[in-house]
Structure 1
């Protein structure tokens, strides 16, 4: 189901709770995120659950080939910092931030299997932005 986007910085600053392995409710949040990202594909490349009003550590990211769903993503390693400027569907304008060029991320996939993958470039930047959302960091 396509959900409305949260625009309140106050609500976005609240850190998210971990997704619960196998939870039907969290699976539904993940699918709603995929639907909502697809509906906003022309202006958005990633979303976190708090952007649709759910305080769970669930994100979706467009990796170029498809939209990837990640439960409880965690950055294990970051290499090569750089300065950039990012926008957000939940907020107006852009903001400066520091990102890593390469990150290693551990997460649960859409079948609740644990994955550890290294991402680079723009996809790595998107993942970092969405994990910031999970942590209550408003960029």
Structure 2
């Protein structure tokens, strides 16, 4: 189900709780909401739809992928300052992002995954993981 985007910064700055298998519906709602906002959005975190759980949905190539409890376990030494936007905030702001990251997470079937992401996809994931930690750009 497509959900409204939360713009309350006080709510968005609260760290999210770990997600469980019971939160699969939240991930499905995130994926539906990401698809509905695809013109202006490439990633969402559950708190952006009003649920304080550590779940993100990101565009990876042609596909939208849900990640439960994503954690960056390795990253490049190199980083860059980029300008990012967010559906929950007006305008763009600078953010420091690693060039590549390795992420451990559970997929939509709650199977453990470990994957390396580079470039813009890595940037999106870092932005959404920040949301899970209550960090806004």
The answer to whether residue 15 in structure 2 is matched with residue 37 in structure 1 is no
2:54 — aligned with what?
57
TM-score norm. by structure 2 comes to: 0.98
Q: For residue 77 of structure 1, report the CA deviation from its aligned partner.
A: 1.0
1:89 — aligned with what?
87
Superposition RMSD on alpha carbons, in Å?
Answer: 0.5
Distance 2:66 2:124 in 1: 13
Distance 1:15 1:42 in 2: 28
Distance 1:85 1:40 in 2: 20
Give aligned pairs, total: 136
2:97 — aligned with what?
99
Q: For residue 44 of structure 1, report the CA deviation from its aligned partner.
A: 0.2
Moved over 6 A (4+): none
Deviation per CA, 1:42-97: give whole Å up to 9, x if none.
00000000000000000000012200010000000110211111000010011111
Tell me which of 63, 66, 71 is aligned to 1:69.
66
Query: For structure 1, which runs of at least 5 residues remain unmatched after alignment?
Result: none
2:116 — aligned with what?
118
TM-score norm. by structure 1 comes to: 0.96
